[in-house]
Copies of this chain bind each other. A is one copy, B any other.
Amino acid sequence: VNTFVGSTGFILALYAAQAAAQTTQPQQPSHPSMAEVIAASKPGDWRPLEDENTLYVDLPAGRVIIELAPAFAPRHVENVRTLAREGYYDGLFITRSQDNYVAQWGDPDGKREMKKGSRTLPAEFERDVPASPGELPFTKLPDGDVYAKEVGFSRGMPAARDPGTNKAWLVHCYAMVGAGRDNTADSGGGAELYVVTGHAPRHLDRNVTLLGRVVKGMELLSSLPRGPQPMGFYDNPADRTPLVRVQVASDVPAAQRTSLEVLRTDTPTFAALVESRRNRPEAWFLHKADRVEICNVPLPVRPRR
């Protein structure tokens, strides 16, 4: 069976296999592979997901876990927490799955009552770069970007910066979560959320409030049947996938939480991981790209140790 290595997705399962391959096929790479970077990482290279910033979206097929991004969308994140806590999402549906684009959930009939949550909020498309770099670390990537002047990672999220305007914003990579809106900037709020399931639709950057990223369970969203209507809407309500329950992790009994940690993006270990993806030392790669685009940088996640 011909195969090829390398994944930008959820790679827990790959670590063991790649580590084994490294053991049985020793090489002399000029720099470590991603598997070696991960294997050599120290506990401090990882950070646990904060329960208050973690959303569990339970589908019939399993749990989707979203890390929220209050550093970029504080009001939207707070509203999503409020909506989850009042049970607003429970029993709503994934109403739309558009191929190579997004899956989106919400209230198909517009009849669901909202208690403390807000239906709309002022847009949080971008934010100021703080005066103190430590307030919002930014690990800039070396190879540029088609859409933004600078791209990199802030607190585990793909982000862009414009030194001219001193603004920062999250970017639409695979697995990013945003708040659907109508034609005006302030017409979204988080009652309808979409997740990127295809090639990064970067033209949406600064057009929508991104508020988090799926860190586990993406395959449950990406493998949904596509809806036959324009923009991937399902025409038959029975084809919609229900949201069984949506909870903030801190509201879930500790024993029922899915305890995860993610690789920090502001460490020498992460810089080594980026380099391992720019030039793959694995024997399979015959042409080294010497480049990596922001949405091709993996963001490792694993059970908390």
Binding site for B on A (CB under 8 A): 1-10, 13-14, 16-17, 95-101, 104, 106-108, 110, 125, 143-147, 173-175, 180-183, 185, 187-188, 191-192, 194, 198-208, 218-219, 222-226, 228-231, 277, 280, 283-287, 289, 291-293, 295-296
- Chain B hits for A229, CB < 8 A: 13
- Distance (Å) between the CB of A173 and the closest chain B CB? 7
A sample of 18 cross-chain residue pairs with beta-carbon separation below 8 angstroms, ordered by A number, consists of A2-B187, A2-B192, A5-B231, A7-B231, A8-B100, A9-B100, A97-B223, A99-B222, A100-B175, A146-B146, A146-B292, A147-B289, A183-B284, A198-B198, A200-B293, A203-B291, A203-B296, A207-B284
Alpha-carbon distance between A143 and B87 when the two chains are bound, in angstroms: 45
Contact status A2-B106, CB under 8 Å? yes
Q: Which of B4, B144, B173, B185 contacts A286 (CB 8 A)?
A: B185
Q: For A100, A174, A277, A287, which residue has the most chain B Cβ atoms within 10 angstroms? A: A100
Alpha-carbon distance between A2 and B194 when the two chains are bound, in angstroms: 10
- Distance (Å) between the CB of A87 and the closest chain B CB? 20
Alpha-carbon distance between A238 and B97 when the two chains are bound, in angstroms: 26
Contact status A100-B4, CB under 8 Å? no
Q: How many copies does the complex hold?
A: 2
A interface majority secondary structure: loop
Extra contacts besides A2-B182, A100-B175, A146-B292 (17): CB < 8 Å:
A1-B192, A2-B106, A2-B192, A4-B204, A5-B231, A6-B203, A8-B100, A8-B199, A8-B201, A9-B100, A13-B229, A125-B287, A200-B293, A200-B296, A202-B293, A207-B284, A207-B286
Contact status B287-A147, CB under 8 Å? no
Contact status B226-A219, CB under 8 Å? yes
Which B residue's beta carbon lies closest to that of A226? Answer: B219
Contact status A147-B230, CB under 8 Å? no
Contact status A173-B201, CB under 8 Å? no
- Chain B hits for A1, CB < 8 A: 95, 106-108, 110, 192
- Chain B hits for A291, CB < 8 A: 146-147, 202-203
Closest 10 pairs between A and B when the two form their complex, measured CB to CB? A2-B180, A9-B100, A17-B230, A219-B226, A206-B287, A146-B293, A9-B99, A99-B219, A203-B289, A174-B199
- Chain B hits for A228, CB < 8 A: 13
- Chain B hits for A147, CB < 8 A: 289, 291, 293
